[in-house]
Amino acid sequence: MSTSWRHRLRSLLPLTLLTIGSAYALASWNWCGRWPEEAPTLLGRARAEGPWKAGAAKVALAPPYPVAVAGYGLPLPEASGAGLPPQARAVVLAVGELKVGLVSLELMLVPDPLVAAVRERSAPLGLNAVLVVATHTHSSFGGYDARLASQLAGTGRYREDSLKAAAVGASEALAQAASRLTDVTLEVGEAREPGLVRSRSGGDVPEGALTRVVLRGTQGPVAELLHFASHPTLVPRKRDVVDPDWPGRLSQLREATGGVTLMLQGAAGNASAVWEGAEGLEKVAGYAKAVAELAGKAEPVAAEGPLALGYARVSVALPRPDASRLAPGYARAAGDNLLCASSARTVEVGALTLGPLHWLLMPGEPTVQAGSALARRTGASGVLGLVDGYVGYVETPERVEAREGESRRQYFGPRLLERLGDGAELAAREAGFPH
């Protein structure tokens, strides 16, 4: 190296160090600020009793291939097709003038803009409420979440056409379901198999409880709702095709006998699927078959009337994000800034009454312990996760303070469950929960 080049490099060194130091100083400055505490706000509610009608439909999603396979952090594989096409499944429930649409997408999560897009596209249907749910599949397509934290954590580079593909499929399924309303009876059954799930992070052990709701018309089942908590992470990682994992196969198996089956995640934050003796896609198929057989054991019994259909939606102010458990000390402020820039200040929680069932609707992944705490507080018979938004994992304050369980993945501090619980309590009261 010539003397002149050495001189130039030496002269650039102070500038380089100054630039790096300035960048670190900027990143270390906590730009998050204070987030105000606000009481939960009611967004909407309705309740009706009388004869029920229901319609259901499923529509294949059309991802903009090639597309990222979401689920496991960078680098994400790219898919040029589907092993089993992901679906949007919808049911529209009607009692008198009250109509509620529920659509399940075989995706990892449903961010707020996707929920808003589905509702906007479904506005002409005249539904009082549209509830958007993710099966939490970790091997479906990504690209639909613009938040930087989500893009880095698992959904991949944001693409407007990915969000549009999910919104179009969901709204089309809702439209078809709304056009097929027919008289139905409501039947409910329950079964459990603890051997199908385990806790991956300690604490309470998932019970493997499954609730089955059948909406039966004169010609047979119109729709079936299966409420079960277990992470869909059985499809082998780094495949170059998208796949709905065991929820998609479960729905297909159940639909062989008629109707449309929606798989609804419960408090699955720390619930992992357990299936021995197989690998690869055989393991996925085996687990789906086992859950389908469990659903078959949940013999449905006709609910006695008069039966109520009710819902409530509530806006909740979130606590300030907290990266203290996610990033080392020297990067704490930068982590807080990333989470703050990726988080809305409010989130939606809800409550749904289906005859004898009273379900809380939570925009994240509550653990078994968090779900139990919410149910005790509100009188809910069940907690549905991954509904109408996504705030990440939800642990109990005690486990967050102790840095235990899923708290190392939680984006917010120990007050998250309390804030969500405040909103859930209001929603449950407005939806007519018996508490």
At 23 the pLDDT is 37
| pLDDT score of 318 more than 50 | yes
Helices (H), 123-205: 148-150, 160-178
| pLDDT score of 1 more than 90 | no
Q: Which two tokens stand for residue 184?
A: 């139905």
The pLDDT tens digits for 104-159 are 999 999 999 999 999 999 999 999 999 999 999 999 999 999 999 999 989 999 99
| pLDDT score of 11 more than 60 | no
| pLDDT score of 14 more than 60 | no
335, part of any domain? yes
Terminal CA-to-CA distance of the chain, rounded, Å?
80
Contact between 261 and 292 (Cβ < 8 Å) = no
358, part of any domain? yes
413, part of any domain? yes
Average pLDDT over residues 221-247: 96
| pLDDT score of 15 more than 80 | no
The pLDDT tens digits for 357-371 are 999 999 999 999 999
Question: Whole-prediction pTM value?
Answer: 0.92
At 277 the pLDDT is 85
278, part of any domain? no
At 206 the pLDDT is 86
Q: What angle do CA 110, 111, 115 make, to 5 degrees?
A: 75
Q: Considering the chain, what is the average pLDDT of its residues? A: 92
Give the model's confidence band at 22: pLDDT under 50 very low, under 70 low, under 90 confident, else very high. very low
Which long-range contacts (C-beta less than 8 Å, at least 24 apart) are formed by 275-282? 275/196, 275/234, 280/236, 281/83, 281/235, 281/236
Range of the domain at 327: 41-45+307-430
Instruction: Give the C-alpha separation, 249 to 4, whole Å.
Output: 68
At 16 the pLDDT is 37
At 36 the pLDDT is 86
| pLDDT score of 242 more than 80 | yes
Give the model's confidence band at 166: pLDDT under 50 very low, under 70 low, under 90 confident, else very high. very high
- Considering the chain, what percentage of its residues have pLDDT values greater than 70? 93
Average pLDDT over residues 49-64: 97
347, part of any domain? yes
Residues of 293-329 as b/e, b for ≥16 C-beta within 10 angstroms? Answer: ebbeebebeebeeebbbbbbbbbbbbbbbbbebbeee
Average pLDDT over residues 306-331: 92
| pLDDT score of 27 more than 70 | no
Average pLDDT over residues 398-414: 95
394, part of any domain? yes
301, part of any domain? no
Mean pLDDT is lowest, of 56-60, 110-114, 323-327, for: 323-327
The CB-side HSE value for 220 (13 A sphere, CA atoms) comes to 6
**How, if at all, do strands 87-95 and 52-60 pair?**
antiparallel
At 241 the pLDDT is 96
At 421 the pLDDT is 98
At 322 the pLDDT is 93
- Considering the chain, what percentage of its residues have pLDDT values greater than 90? 83
398, part of any domain? yes
At 304 the pLDDT is 86
Contact between 175 and 129 (Cβ < 8 Å) = no
At 327 the pLDDT is 85
| pLDDT score of 28 more than 90 | no
Domain count, the chain: 1
Contact between 334 and 293 (Cβ < 8 Å) = no
